[in-house]
């Protein structure tokens, strides 16, 4: 049996990582080139002439004397942790197929749980925002689902303690999954699905869903919509039409349950964003680390107050 080229693709090994980012100076050089690809530019006056203050690790403009920290204005701003810790955290989060919990991150990095939690959620937020900029197109399988613990009372749609979300998988011409989108929604109503589609689907995209009435709202977003109802006579057709989206829903639930055991409802969009980010880069295991480092360098600072707030459902 031939090896799966995706599963056996070259990754980013631990020795390679340590050779490239094992010291603080190596991490600083990498971050410097990501922030100023064409050389340092003063954020105050735009001058390119500068000097480096070794004692305070600051860059000073020779023209206006404005001083800038390497991490100022980035995701790493105001952090007391060295860049080596940040880079190692990004490596551990991106290279593990099922990710890593904040508790496990604490143990591996040798830092407090609160610090590990902040790193984890900042990086998950960056992953989510990165994928928010991509709209699905071509052929999309769409399905509704719930995530949450079992509770007594009503089951299925409308059950207490469960968070509704939609799962969308875009396929290529051969029918293989390319990109995935998991989005928490407030409810399964036409208007909610219409607004979601306008933000996350390209116009004229062909979307296949089940017969849930709310998915008729896709038409209002200029989406080509086809539905397939589940019945005994055509069960095999139904399962084939939603094979990939059903598989992904099962995978993400198993991953969250196995890695995190339990997560707070208000942070679910971030965990979904992390899962999708990793899935969407599964063809480029070597690139996922560099992409997240670059996103961190381009992202604004995230104070803890922002992290503790409920994340937007989409």
* Cβ proximity of 99 and 278 under 8 Å: yes
pTM: 0.90
Residue 234 is predicted with a pLDDT of: 63
Higher pLDDT: 41 or 154? It is: 41
Terminal Cα distance for the chain, rounded: 41
Residue 232 is predicted with a pLDDT of: 54
Residue 168 is predicted with a pLDDT of: 97
Work out the pLDDT band at 2, boundaries 50, 70, 90.
Answer: low
Assess whether pLDDT exceeds 90 at residue 183.
Answer: yes
Higher pLDDT: 309 or 117? It is: 117
Work out the pLDDT band at 305, boundaries 50, 70, 90.
Answer: confident
Q: What is the mean pLDDT of the segment spanning 60-88?
A: 94
DSSP state of 136: B
Q: What is the mean pLDDT of the segment spanning 197-221?
A: 95
Assess whether pLDDT exceeds 60 at residue 1.
Answer: no
Q: What is the mean pLDDT of the segment spanning 179-183?
A: 95
Q: What is the mean pLDDT of the segment spanning 47-74?
A: 92
Residue whose structure tokens are 């006056």:
45
How are beta strands 67-69 and 139-147 bridged, if at all?
Answer: unpaired
Assess whether pLDDT exceeds 80 at residue 312.
Answer: no
Q: Which residues contact 262 (CB under 8 A, 6 or more apart)?
A: 149
Residue 149 is predicted with a pLDDT of: 64
pLDDT digits (tens, 9 = 90+) for 222-235: 999 998 876 655 66
Q: How far is it, in rounded angstroms, from Cα 269 to Cα 145?
A: 14
Residue 167 is predicted with a pLDDT of: 96
Strands (E), 216-296: 224-227
How much is the mean pLDDT over the chain? Answer: 89
How are beta strands 177-184 and 67-69 bridged, if at all?
Answer: unpaired
Give me 128's structure tokens: 């989510």
Assess whether pLDDT exceeds 90 at residue 12.
Answer: no
Q: How far is it, in rounded angstroms, from Cα 202 to Cα 206?
A: 9
Residue 98 is predicted with a pLDDT of: 80
Residue 157 is predicted with a pLDDT of: 59
For helices 113-132 and 83-95, give the axis angle rounded to 10 degrees.
Answer: 60
pLDDT digits (tens, 9 = 90+) for 259-297: 987 788 999 999 999 999 999 988 887 789 999 999 999
Residue 262 is predicted with a pLDDT of: 79
Residue 143 is predicted with a pLDDT of: 94
What proportion of the chain, given as a percentage, has pLDDT over 70? 90
Work out the pLDDT band at 7, boundaries 50, 70, 90.
Answer: low
Higher pLDDT: 92 or 312? It is: 92
What proportion of the chain, given as a percentage, has pLDDT over 90? 70
Cα-based distances in Å from 182 to 86, 132, 227, 244: 27, 10, 19, 13
Q: What is the mean pLDDT of the segment spanning 41-56?
A: 90
């Amino acid at each position: 049996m031939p090896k799966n080229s995706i599963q056996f693709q070259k990754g980013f090994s631990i020795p390679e990582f340590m050779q490239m980012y094992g010291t603080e100076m190596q991490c600083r050089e990498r971050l410097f080139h990501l922030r100023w690809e064409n050389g340092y530019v003063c954020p105050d006056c735009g001058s390119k002439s500068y000097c480096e203050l070794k004692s305070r690790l600051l860059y000073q403009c020779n023209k206006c004397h404005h001083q800038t920290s390497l991490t100022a204005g980035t995701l790493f701003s105001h952090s007391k942790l060295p860049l080596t810790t940040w880079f190692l955290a990004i490596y551990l989060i991106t290279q593990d197929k099922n990710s890593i919990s904040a508790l496990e991150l604490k143990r591996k990095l040798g830092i407090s749980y609160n610090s590990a939690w902040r790193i984890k959620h900042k990086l998950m937020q960056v992953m989510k925002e990165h994928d928010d900029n991509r709209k699905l197109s071509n052929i999309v399988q769409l399905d509704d689902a719930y995530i949450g613990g079992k509770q007594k009372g009503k089951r299925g749609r409308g059950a207490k303690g469960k968070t509704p979300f939609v799962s969308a998988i875009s396929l290529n011409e051969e029918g293989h999954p390319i990109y995935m989108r998991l989005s928490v929604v407030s409810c399964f109503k036409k208007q909610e699905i219409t607004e979601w589609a306008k933000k996350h689907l390209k116009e004229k995209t062909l979307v296949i869903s089940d017969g849930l009435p709310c998915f008729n709202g896709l038409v209002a977003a200029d989406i080509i919509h086809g539905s397939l109802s589940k019945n005994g006579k055509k069960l095999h057709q139904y399962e084939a039409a939603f094979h990939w989206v059903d598989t992904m829903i099962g995978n993400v639930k198993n991953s969250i349950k196995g890695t995190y055991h339990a997560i707070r409802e208000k942070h679910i969009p971030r965990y979904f964003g992390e899962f999708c980010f990793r899935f969407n880069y599964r063809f480029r295991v070597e690139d996922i680390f560099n992409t997240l480092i670059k996103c961190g360098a381009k992202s604004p600072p995230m104070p803890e107050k922002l992290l503790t707030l409920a994340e937007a459902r989409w």
